[in-house]
């Protein structure tokens, strides 16, 4: 299966964010991207890896130490 490469607007639409956010990720080198001349493309696998690396798992609530009398 071939890797799909997304433009900045396509990546933004896929994640429901702004294009500016993705441009900042690229400018700060916080995501893997491919530059083809003036065009920037982000692989879907790179987006998935970025999401996985920045996913925060919920904290389990502590059991109450309170005793019922």
Query: Cα separations (Å) of 37 from 10, 27, 34, 40, 41?
Result: 18, 15, 10, 8, 11
pTM, two decimals, is 0.77
* Domain presence at residue 11: yes
* CA–CA gap between residue 1 and residue 67 (Å, rounded): 58
* Domain presence at residue 48: yes
* Domain presence at residue 63: no
* Domain presence at residue 37: yes
For residue range 26-60, what is the model confidence (pLDDT) as tens digits?
A: 999 999 999 999 999 999 999 999 999 999 999 98
* Domain presence at residue 18: yes
Q: The domain containing residue 18 runs over which residues?
A: 5-53
* Domain presence at residue 65: no
* CA–CA gap between residue 33 and residue 46 (Å, rounded): 8
* Domain presence at residue 66: no
* Domain presence at residue 25: yes
């Amino acid at each position: 299966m071939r890797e799909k490469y997304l433009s900045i607007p396509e990546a933004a639409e896929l994640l429901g964010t702004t294009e500016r956010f993705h441009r900042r990720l690229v400018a700060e080198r916080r995501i893997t991207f491919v530059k083809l001349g003036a065009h920037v493309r982000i692989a879907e696998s790179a987006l998935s890896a970025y999401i996985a690396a920045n996913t925060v798992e919920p904290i389990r609530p502590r059991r109450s130490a309170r005793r019922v009398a």
